[in-house]
Amino acid sequence: MITIGDFAKLGRVSVRMLRHYDSIGLLTPQRTDPHTGYRYYEVSQLQRLNRVVALKDLGLRLEEVRRIVDDELTGSDLRAMLRLRHAEIQSQIRHDQYRLAQVEARLRLIEMETDMSTPTVLTKTVEPIKNVGLRALASSQTSDDIGPVIQSLYPQIMAAFGATAVTPVGPSVAFYSPAPEQSEDAVWVHATFPVASGPVTGLDTFDIPGGEVASMIHQGSMDSIDSTYQELNRWVSEQGFALNGQAREIYLEMSDDQADWVTEVQVDFVR
């Protein structure tokens, strides 16, 4: 048998925690000296300790943990529970990272309100183009609503290209247009590519209209693209022009790391 201090070191827990587990009957020492009160443990008790700590880290209350381990939770059962909790935590981390990026983007918008510098906006006339791709409806033009919609379209498009051996001949163009027939906030989201051939099986052909646009280059993650749109829309408004609700994103440079992306953002306007 080993002392409580050595058992704590072996199990990578505190002596205080072991004393508490003893007091609630969760993990009792193999022997307690009746004269000194010293607690002694068997190395074999490490298995129960590991299960207790793992279940506690799942977020279970200690009373729930005690009931589970007393029913002799098997190793496979514990692994399954830990894998589930692992997936839940990963999902929460991804969600929190996305929300953090949104907060950072909104902070940049607020900081820009006091920045008197003039944004680099170009105006130009773009020609109509005919691209292939898919479209879906987003409930609003916010990145929260558009992001999941457009992300779901690209895997389907790439699968169609793979099945037909067609290769795009230029960068992808995402085109957004109002959908008032659905609701006042709804937006049609088009994910498209230019191709040299005609129609592509599994994809639709879209006529993306031309017109006069205000354009800015957005560098970095799409999480912060709302700031670029706000700058463009504010510039158009300050010039006394009118927005018609249509916009494009041309993905000029893309890599595994969105921090390296270069996207041209265009909003249509009428003088």
**Mean pLDDT of all residues in 169-193:** 94
Convert the pLDDT of each residue in 32-88 to its tens digit: 988 899 999 999 999 889 888 888 887 878 887 887 788 766 777 777 777 877 888
Q: If you compute the radius of gyration of the chain from its CA atoms, what whole number of angstroms results?
A: 29
3 state SS of 139:
coil
Tokens of 29: 């020492």
Query: Per-residue pLDDT for 116 more than 60?
Result: no
H-only helix segments in the chain: 4-11, 15-23, 46-57, 62-70, 75-112, 143-164, 225-238
Architecture of domain 2-73: Orthogonal Bundle (1.10)
Predicted pLDDT at 105: 66
The reported pTM is: 0.61
**Mean pLDDT of all residues in 12-18:** 91
Predicted pLDDT at 134: 97
- The answer for residues whose C-beta is within 8 angstroms of residue 30's C-beta and 6 or more apart is 1, 40, 41, 42, 45
Architecture of domain 122-270: Alpha-Beta Barrel (3.20)
Question: Which residue has better confidence, 266 or 238?
Answer: 266
Convert the pLDDT of each residue in 252-264 to its tens digit: 998 888 888 999 9
- Residue 158 banded pLDDT, cuts 50, 70, 90: very high
Same-fold call for 2-73 versus 122-270:
no
**Domain map of the chain by residue range?**
2-73, 84-117, 122-270
